[in-house]
Amino acid sequence: IRLAAPGFRFRFHPEFRLRSLLRRRRMAAAAGTARQAGAAPRVGLLYDQRMLAHAPAGKKEKETPERLRAIWRKLAAEGVTSRCVGMRAKVAKEKYIASVHARKHVDLIRKISSKDSSDLKKTAKKFDSVYFSKGSSESAFLAAGSVIEVAEKVAAGELSSAIALVRPPGHHAEHSKPMGFCLFNNVAIAANYLLNERPDLGINKILIVDWDVHHGNGTQNMFYSDPRVLFFSVHRYDYGRFYPYEADASHVFIGDETGRGYNINVPWEHAKCGDADYVAAWDHVLLPVAEAFDPDIILLSAGFDAARGDHMGDCCITPNGYALLLTKLLGFAKGRIVMALEGGYNPESIANSVCACAKVLLGDKFTLNSPEMQPFESTWRVIQMVRDELKTYWPVLSSKLPENVSLRSTPSY
């Protein structure tokens, strides 16, 4: 793996360079042991056509079944599906969903598909950016159950990692309402299940990484006071002018009570952020904190609407950019990573990006040739603000950022 393209000019702090070296050595040693034993990664891949039944009535909706179909076609064409452990969705038990959602909310989603089309539309209008169809109830329960299923198997060591191709997505869903295409908060349900329903699996600390271009507001709120969950969201914020248009996507929202410091927001100020910006956020915020936190498992809210070509996010992460971000996470939690699909609305972009990530989990090599490997000036400023806000809780963030870094000017509109 070549981690930087020619001309990539980040300069890393000596302490972080040493930590990175030690982590790479641990990863290399683990990989060497696996190769000696002849073991290949057992990567779970969950896909179930029943989740295609959640479908909009018109053409204006962006969250459609074609998202999953495009991903599956790409994975099959690249030979990825045959290399993974195939899995089928399971319906989540209501008691597990009710661990993070209000009973009234669970009842709404369970009953919604029994309504006629006019009632479906009327009900949807009561909420922010959602739609309902005859297949919504089953799809929502399957999506939640699927993430539980793969997370449980990764936590138990039956799989080294897993990808849950689920829809509807989940990270916007709040305790008592659906929101932003999301009906149940799939990742939050799975995290709560591992922490509170399966103590025998030894999962005491969970890192949730949300790289969807939109803030994971629902997940943040569900664990805002819980120090067992380190929640990290990197997203467009645009000073509150980007969906979900809420102030709590700001970097100053860092958790509450015993959870202070365990909620990390990296809020981009504008569009066009790409590989270099996300790598900078990883290297100077996420990775140092993750090393100090030392999670037992990583749940990845894997939205791909920050991908190049996705006009909803209007950002520029390349498929191999996503592959690099994922590679950098493999040094934690013994590589136990669960990817749960969130957003991503350009079928080609999401398919290529998921495929690149799947190949990383399978152990394939890749080369990052990003045309612009310089972060924006605003990125450096945002990262410094995030570090300043959190350094009391994570002393590793107290050191100065590298100086004389080559930066790009803020894009003009």
Mean pLDDT by 10 residues, the chain (413 residues): 36 46 48 51 98 92 97 98 98 98 98 96 97 98 98 98 98 98 98 98 98 98 98 98 98 98 98 97 98 98 98 97 98 98 98 98 87 87 98 97 91 73
Rounded to an integer, what distance in angstroms lies between the CA atom of residue 322 and that of residue 356? 7
Rounded to an integer, what distance in angstroms lies between the CA atom of residue 276 and that of residue 407? 10
pTM: 0.92
Given this model, what pLDDT does residue 31 score? 45
| Residue in the structure block whose two tokens are 């996503």 | 322
Given this model, what pLDDT does residue 130 score? 97
Given this model, what pLDDT does residue 28 score? 44
Instruction: Look up residue 270 and give its two tokens.
Output: 């504008």
Given this model, what pLDDT does residue 20 score? 53
Phi and psi at residue 274, to the nearest 5° = -135, -155
Given this model, what pLDDT does residue 412 score? 75
Domains and CATH numbers, the chain: 40-397 (3.40.800.20)
Given this model, what pLDDT does residue 142 score? 98
Task: Point out the residues that are catalytic.
Answer: 172
Given this model, what pLDDT does residue 370 score? 62
